[in-house]
């Protein structure tokens, strides 16, 4: 199907191409992950200006030709997230969040829930970034894990947390098994790794609350929670996620 396509998108990545072009990895609500080329965007007088920077939310007109890559023919900025770009921690968190979306949702399937979640996460990071931040920084390990957990839910991979994923027992939940699909009890924990009560409580609270209200936990609990997320993704989506923070466990 050739012709113009109008869509909102988040720029996940932007890669230099040729003399003056960029290849954009986009995430859209209605077409999932899309690749597009922005021609001449690196020229000083480009008609796109700075509107196609990574982590921005944009309204695009794309031309769909015979190539796998669509061509950007129009771009309007909806949220530039400028504060985020001037704050190293927020920028790093935004890159990791976009990378997680790109790896977990690497298809042209529509997924407006994932799109909305990513918009929300980038807005939170932007509001808490830089010298004129309006909220506390969202570039924390806890926030990044809460975001990934919500991605799992949107992808149909939510881990079982209320009872043993193997036998249904609601007591003595002491381990986590990606293969079993969630927390497991002491009798079923062969092949599982230990999950402390604090890590279990973090996972449950993070799923029950909004991203802006993500719970905090000790570095140890967060490390276990991250392992649970990584194990779930590897078993059920066969995807390996990058660590949620640069200094793993150093920022609570």
**Site residues, Zn ion (CB under 5 A):** 164, 166-167, 169, 185, 188
CB of 9 vs Zn ion, minimal distance in Å: 44
CA distance 52 to 99: 17
Nearer to Zn ion, 76 or 187 (CB): 187
| H/E run at residue 145 | helix 141-154
Yes or no: say if 50 and 41 are a contact pair by the CB < 8 Å rule.
Answer: no
CB of 169 vs Zn ion, minimal distance in Å: 5
Nearer to Zn ion, 9 or 180 (CB): 180
Nearer to Zn ion, 184 or 206 (CB): 184
How would you label 19-35 residue by residue, b for 16+ Cβ within 10 Å and e otherwise?
Answer: eebbebbbbbbbbbbbe
CA distance 104 to 138: 22
Nearer to Zn ion, 92 or 169 (CB): 169
Which of the 8 DSSP states describes residue 187? Answer: G
CB of 171 vs Zn ion, minimal distance in Å: 9
Nearer to Zn ion, 163 or 201 (CB): 163
CB of 211 vs Zn ion, minimal distance in Å: 31
CB of 160 vs Zn ion, minimal distance in Å: 11
CA distance 132 to 15: 29
CA distance 234 to 126: 30
């Amino acid at each position: 199907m050739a012709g113009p396509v109008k869509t909102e998108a988040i720029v996940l990545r932007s890669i230099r191409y040729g003399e003056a072009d960029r290849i954009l990895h986009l995430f859209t609500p209605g077409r999932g992950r899309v690749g597009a080329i922005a021609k001449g965007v690196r020229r000083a007088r480009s008609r796109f200006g700075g509107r196609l920077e990574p982590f921005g939310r944009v309204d695009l007109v794309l031309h769909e030709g015979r190539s796998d890559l669509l061509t950007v023919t129009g771009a309007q900025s909806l949220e530039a997230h400028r504060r985020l770009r001037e704050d190293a921690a927020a920028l790093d968190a935004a890159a990791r969040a976009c990378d997680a979306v790109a790896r977990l949702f690497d298809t042209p399937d529509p997924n407006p829930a994932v799109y909305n979640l990513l918009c929300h996460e980038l807005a939170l990071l932007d509001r808490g970034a830089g010298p004129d931040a309006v909220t506390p920084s969202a570039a924390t390990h806890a926030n990044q894990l809460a975001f990934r957990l919500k991605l799992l839910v949107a992808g149909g991979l939510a881990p079982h947390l209320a009872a043993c994923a193997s036998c249904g027992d609601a007591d003595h939940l002491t381990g986590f098994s990606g293969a079993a699909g969630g927390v497991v009890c002491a009798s079923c924990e062969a092949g599982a790794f230990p999950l402390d009560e604090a890590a279990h409580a973090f996972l449950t609270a993070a799923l029950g609350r909004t991203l802006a209200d993500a719970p905090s936990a000790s570095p140890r609990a967060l490390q276990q929670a991250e392992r649970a997320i990584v194990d779930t993704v590897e078993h059920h989506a066969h995807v390996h996620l990058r660590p949620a923070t640069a200094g793993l466990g150093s920022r609570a």
